[in-house]
Structure 1
Amino acid sequence: MLRPHKISNLSRAFVLHARTLEQLDARGLADGLEAVGRPLDSLRLFGRLTIELSTLRSRFNHLLVIPQYEVEKALQRRAVEAGVDFRYETELTGLVQDADGVTEVRGPGGAAGSLRAAYVVGTDGMRSAVREAIGLPFPGRSAIRSVVLADVRLAEEPENLLTVNAVGDAFAFLAPFGDGYHRVIAWNRARDVPDGEPLDLDEVKEVTRLALGRDYGMHDARWMSRFHSDERQAPAYRVGRVFLAGDAAHVHTPAGGQGMNTGLQDAANLSWKLAAVVQGHSDAALLDSYQAERHPVGKAVLRSSGGIVRLAMAKRPWELALRAALTAFLNTVGPARRRAVGQITGIGYRYPAPRGAHRRTGTRVPDVALEGGRLYETLRGGRFVLITPESYEDQGARKDRLAVQRWASDRRTTVLVRPDGYVAWAADSADTARIEDAVARYVG
């Protein structure tokens, strides 16, 4: 794996949502991250809209406040244990596809070299060299310019774990690192300057006071910077043997904290499919479903994060009236509020299902109780999980790819769960022949 730099604490992401925590749980990482981060069971938007997360049908019925670098460290440890070879300070300079795929790179000190791989996944951010190498455009626009970032100490501790508000032209967000510093993300619409314009602590304090009413006695800034937030999405997430995920495929405003989460969910969707194809258990056509399943999610996240920012920064009377009406609607109409929560947390998305498929096909499966334990514990083997009301013995040589479990309840539906926790196939009643046919078709 090419990695230009070692893990940095200058990350922008600070939250893990329920669906991402579930995906991390399926890899045995969630409990460790929960021990490091701090849970938050409700969000408050626009001063009036309260989103309760404690009612989520998930083991992780909260938002976890945790810096991105802690997540990266956990993922890196797991990758190293799995034998991943990280190449630091290595730049991708070109990419040529053939029957197997070739990546040309330039290593430390400018030494030329090449790496050969069956597939390439570009997770190299907004300015993706992989995306450029395969000739994909990145249409969109800059949504917010001159956002200020700062890591500071505070003389006064904020009342809430996450502090966020917007007033007039100003927006500010505060989140703790856990080491005595807080990250400040703030924006003053009235001060639109280039990213390279010098930034001092007085400006950070001023815009924070405008948005939050006070600056909490900010001092001892260890880092400050400006950036601009774009809304962009690649038209395709796959070209031949090359794939895009995360910010290389889509970027959007930080509203709702969906950026890192969406990228990790991209990876969870693609990883098991690549493994199945590389190991010869599935046809390469399976990889086409990555685009079909994840591109619509990326598009929806662009819409929702952009909508939150525009409502937060409402200024004209008609905009303020629209925000008030929408807030009242979501506060009083349960189904609409649950849909909004499902989008932000990621648990509400479902993937397209073939015509005539069972109604559960393509839906996320929560961490249901099984006779042998929890579902997501069973998924930690990277296998499909067949959940049946009756005993079933797999007749194929699939022990390394299929775990068979029985419901801990009296449910009668038979469900084949993909390694990423979504339903591949289901039937309200199924005999051994039907189950065997489904297992052969999906597990290989």
Structure 2
Amino acid sequence: MKTVIAGAGPTGLLLAGDLARAGVDVTVLERRGGESNLTRAFAVHARTLEQLDARGIAEEVIATGTRVSRLRLFNRIALDLGGLPTRFPFVLISPQYNVERVLEERAVKAGARILRGHSVTGLRQDAGGVEVRTDGGTFAADYVVGADGAHSGVRHALGLEFPGHAVVRSLMLADVRLAVPPEEAITVNAVGSAFAFVAPFGDGWYRVFAWNRGHQVPDDAPLTLEEVRDTTRQAFGTDFGMGECRWLSRFHSDERQVERYRTGRVFLAGDAAHVHSPAGGQGMNTGLQDAANLGWKLAATGAGWAPEGLLDSYQDERHAVGRLVLRTSGGILRLALLRSRGARLGRDVFAGLALHVPAVLRRATGTISGVGIDYPHAPRQRDVDLNPGGARLYELLRAGRHVLLGPSAPDGYGDRLIHAPFDRFVLVRPDGHTAWTGTEGDLPVALRAHLGAPR
């Protein structure tokens, strides 16, 4: 099976590595002619780290950043991530380019081809395959995945609408060095007219977001470091000695989601399918989890054992998650940018009281970190230590196959299943979600439903 992926960002690269590992012929088309080391995304949440752990690269990514166990949302309100039910009870602050580097090395090592300088200009599909046209050539594939960002050429070629609207305009972004860094790893504040957010990359550089209600100009309006300093001082009373700057950018934030993630043989993932506010650091994480969901399903289709409707389940499972992320990140942003002092005080009091309720805290931390997000028929499966041998479940998932935990092993599924002794039967999908739990008597029917006929 041949697959073309448009976009060599984190979403496209994780997907490329998964497919290449499964023996799929993968070509990644990237519009950038060279690598970019300056990007907006910088937060890697717990569920994403679990997905990276299932590929054997979590520790490599963690080594590039700073662990933060408390995620501040606004003013004095923070979420304590230390109680998350995961091996990674923190958010990792690391620039997107670090994640991309690790994922690209994995994809190339597995056999994926990455071609730069190719922007998708059109495509044509029929029952037999897809033809992708770029400004650098034409490519034939069995399936195509558009992971080429908010201005996706694949989505445009499909003629799909991208409904939504701008939620905040004229956001300022800067990567700077600070002479007097803030005491907390993540620092955020809003005073009604100004908002600012500061987080460390761990290498001496800091990411600053700033917004001035009274000065909202087009994205292409000139931006100076002094404007960022001034807004930061309004929000915090200090600019933390903001000095050397390596990147300045002004942008607006939209909330948009495409209605269909699949059109025939073409799929959309990451920002090509959904965009939302930067609040909560959800963007890169949601895209990576799109890729983790789609990859094994495409690989199963290529291997010839995918049950009927498996590819359609990508839409069923991930569209609802995208909608949830839009609501969550949009709600956080709107609360952070409340105009009146009274409204902000009410928000702080109410949120502070609510987060002292254990069920509310679990829901909030689980949603933002991703570990609390389940699919209707496939809840997230926590990592477990397995005996004998001492292996963990997520270490077994690194083979890219389903894992059957249970007292006995079935015959005929060795090409798509790993068995590990356990006190009960649990069938875990390659993306770390539980496909089935039950008894030995129901096992043959369950395996046929989820893994096709035995060989």
Say whether 1:104 aligns with 2:132: yes
Query: Which residue does 1:400 correspond to in 2?
Result: 415
CA contact (8 A) 1:102 1:114 kept: no
User: How far apart are residue 285 of structure 1 and its match?
Assistant: 1.8
Superposed, 1:44-59 pairs within 5 Å as: 44-59=72-87
User: How far apart are residue 287 of structure 1 and its match?
Assistant: 0.6
> For residues 250-298 of structure 1, what are the alpha-carbon distances to aligned partners after superposition, in whole Å with 9 as ceiling and x for unaligned?
0000000011000100100010001001111114521111111011110
> For residues 335-358 of structure 1, what are the alpha-carbon distances to aligned partners after superposition, in whole Å with 9 as ceiling and x for unaligned?
0111011110001111122xxxxx
Query: Which residue does 2:403 correspond to in 1?
Result: 385
Query: Which residue does 1:441 correspond to in 2?
Result: 449
* C-alpha distance in 1 between matches for 2:117 and 2:61: 27
Query: Which residue does 2:36 correspond to in 1?
Result: 8
* C-alpha distance in 2 between matches for 1:426 and 1:97: 39
Q: Give the TM-score normalised by structure 2.
A: 0.90
Moved more, 327-336 or 61-70: 327-336
User: Quick one: which of 315, 318, 323 aligns to 1:294?
Assistant: 318
* C-alpha distance in 1 between matches for 2:119 and 2:337: 39
Secondary structure of the structure 1 residue equivalent to 2:311: helix
CA contact (8 A) 1:7 1:73 kept: no
**Paired-residue identity, %:** 54
Query: Which residue does 2:252 correspond to in 1?
Result: 228
**Aligned partner of 1:78: which letter?**
R
Query: Which residue does 2:379 correspond to in 1?
Result: 363
> For residues 179-226 of structure 1, what are the alpha-carbon distances to aligned partners after superposition, in whole Å with 9 as ceiling and x for unaligned?
332221111111110111111111010011111221111122222110
**Aligned partner of 1:395: which letter?**
D
User: How far apart are residue 394 of structure 1 and its match?
Assistant: 2.1
- How much is the aligned-residue C-alpha RMSD, in angstroms? 1.5
Query: Which residue does 1:93 correspond to in 2?
Result: 121
Moved more, 336-345 or 160-169: 160-169
User: How far apart are residue 321 of structure 1 and its match?
Assistant: 5.1
Superposed, 1:1-400 pairs within 5 Å as: 1-5=28-32, 6-108=34-136, 113-283=137-307, 285-316=309-340, 319-320=343-344, 322-353=346-377, 362-371=378-387, 372=389, 373-388=391-406, 390=407, 392-396=408-412, 398-400=413-415
* C-alpha distance in 1 between matches for 2:326 and 2:386: 36
Moved more, 250-259 or 145-154: 145-154
Structure with bigger RCO (C-alpha 8 Å, 6+ apart): 2
> For residues 69-101 of structure 1, what are the alpha-carbon distances to aligned partners after superposition, in whole Å with 9 as ceiling and x for unaligned?
000001100100111111100121111011233
**Aligned partner of 1:2: which letter?**
L
**Aligned partner of 1:443: which letter?**
L
* C-alpha distance in 2 between matches for 1:159 and 1:103: 53
**Aligned partner of 1:134: which letter?**
L
CA contact (8 A) 2:166 2:254 kept: yes
Task: Name the CA shift for 1:171/1:288 in 2 (closer, same or farther; >3 Å).
Answer: same
> For residues 7-64 of structure 1, what are the alpha-carbon distances to aligned partners after superposition, in whole Å with 9 as ceiling and x for unaligned?
3121111111110000010011101111221111112232332311111110011111
* C-alpha distance in 2 between matches for 1:223 and 1:302: 27
* C-alpha distance in 2 between matches for 1:251 and 1:62: 24
> For residues 393-422 of structure 1, what are the alpha-carbon distances to aligned partners after superposition, in whole Å with 9 as ceiling and x for unaligned?
3210x2231011123xxxx43110000010
* C-alpha distance in 2 between matches for 1:21 and 1:177: 17
CA contact (8 A) 1:92 1:103 kept: no
* C-alpha distance in 2 between matches for 1:288 and 1:322: 44
Secondary structure of the structure 2 residue equivalent to 1:173: strand
**Aligned partner of 1:280: which letter?**
G
Residue ranges of structure 1 left out of the alignment (5+ in a row): 354-361
Q: Give the TM-score normalised by structure 1.
A: 0.92
Say whether 1:417 aligns with 2:444: no
Secondary structure of the structure 2 residue equivalent to 1:395: coil
CA contact (8 A) 1:123 1:246 kept: yes
Secondary structure of the structure 1 residue equivalent to 2:328: helix
Residue ranges of structure 2 left out of the alignment (5+ in a row): 1-27
**Aligned partner of 1:438: which letter?**
A
* C-alpha distance in 1 between matches for 2:314 and 2:249: 35
**Aligned partner of 1:370: which letter?**
L
